[in-house]
Amino acid sequence: MRLPLAFLPENAEAIVVEVRGGMGIMRRLLDLGLTPGAKVKVIHSGSAGPVLIEVRGSRVMVGRGILMKIIVEWGGSP
Protein backbone atom coordinates (compact mmCIF):
# COMPACT_ATOMS: atom_id res chain seq x y z
CA MET A 1 0.00 0.00 0.00
CA ARG A 2 1.12 3.57 -0.62
CA LEU A 3 1.04 6.11 2.19
CA PRO A 4 3.05 9.02 3.63
CA LEU A 5 6.20 7.99 5.49
CA ALA A 6 4.86 9.82 8.57
CA PHE A 7 2.26 7.05 9.08
CA LEU A 8 4.69 4.11 9.30
CA PRO A 9 5.14 2.46 12.71
CA GLU A 10 8.52 1.89 14.35
CA ASN A 11 10.67 -0.82 12.73
CA ALA A 12 8.69 -0.65 9.49
CA GLU A 13 10.63 -0.68 6.22
CA ALA A 14 9.35 0.75 2.95
CA ILE A 15 10.47 1.98 -0.46
CA VAL A 16 10.21 5.66 -1.41
CA VAL A 17 8.01 6.00 -4.51
CA GLU A 18 7.32 9.74 -4.65
CA VAL A 19 8.52 12.98 -3.09
CA ARG A 20 6.16 15.97 -3.13
CA GLY A 21 7.05 19.58 -2.51
CA GLY A 22 8.89 22.63 -3.79
CA MET A 23 12.47 22.85 -4.96
CA GLY A 24 13.83 23.61 -1.47
CA ILE A 25 12.26 20.52 0.08
CA MET A 26 13.19 18.37 -2.91
CA ARG A 27 16.83 19.48 -2.69
CA ARG A 28 17.00 18.82 1.07
CA LEU A 29 15.48 15.35 0.72
CA LEU A 30 17.79 14.55 -2.17
CA ASP A 31 20.76 15.53 0.04
CA LEU A 32 19.48 13.09 2.69
CA GLY A 33 19.17 10.28 0.13
CA LEU A 34 15.36 10.25 0.28
CA THR A 35 14.79 9.68 -3.42
CA PRO A 36 12.44 7.34 -5.30
CA GLY A 37 13.69 3.78 -4.97
CA ALA A 38 15.46 4.34 -1.64
CA LYS A 39 14.76 1.86 1.15
CA VAL A 40 13.82 3.60 4.41
CA LYS A 41 13.27 2.26 7.94
CA VAL A 42 11.54 4.00 10.85
CA ILE A 43 13.83 3.67 13.87
CA HIS A 44 11.94 5.76 16.45
CA SER A 45 8.59 7.51 16.20
CA GLY A 46 7.11 9.00 19.35
CA SER A 47 3.65 10.49 19.62
CA ALA A 48 4.93 13.93 18.61
CA GLY A 49 8.03 15.59 17.27
CA PRO A 50 10.53 14.46 14.66
CA VAL A 51 11.01 10.85 13.58
CA LEU A 52 14.32 9.00 13.47
CA ILE A 53 14.69 7.14 10.18
CA GLU A 54 17.44 5.18 8.48
CA VAL A 55 18.09 5.69 4.78
CA ARG A 56 21.09 4.58 2.71
CA GLY A 57 23.01 3.56 5.84
CA SER A 58 22.54 6.87 7.68
CA ARG A 59 20.19 7.79 10.51
CA VAL A 60 18.49 11.18 10.36
CA MET A 61 15.76 13.00 12.28
CA VAL A 62 13.02 14.36 10.03
CA GLY A 63 9.96 16.41 10.99
CA ARG A 64 6.52 14.91 10.48
CA GLY A 65 5.49 17.68 8.08
CA ILE A 66 8.31 16.72 5.73
CA LEU A 67 7.55 13.01 6.14
CA MET A 68 4.00 13.70 4.94
CA LYS A 69 5.52 14.71 1.59
CA ILE A 70 7.37 11.39 1.15
CA ILE A 71 5.12 8.67 -0.27
CA VAL A 72 6.28 5.10 0.30
CA GLU A 73 5.26 1.60 -0.70
CA TRP A 74 4.81 -0.49 2.45
CA GLY A 75 3.93 -4.15 2.83
CA GLY A 76 1.87 -3.53 5.97
CA SER A 77 3.93 -5.08 8.77
CA PRO A 78 6.86 -3.77 10.84
Q: What's the pLDDT at 78? A: 63
Predicted TM-score (pTM) of this structure: 0.90
Taking residue 72's Cβ as centre, other Cβ atoms within 10 Å add up to 26
For residues 44 and 25, give the distance between their C-alpha atoms in angstroms, rounded to a whole number.
22
pLDDT at residue 74 is higher than 90 = yes
Q: What's the pLDDT at 77? A: 67
Taking residue 70's Cβ as centre, other Cβ atoms within 10 Å add up to 28
DSSP of 45-71: --SSS-EEEEETTEEEEE-HHHHTTEE
Task: Specify the CATH number of the domain 2-74.
Answer: 2.30.30.90
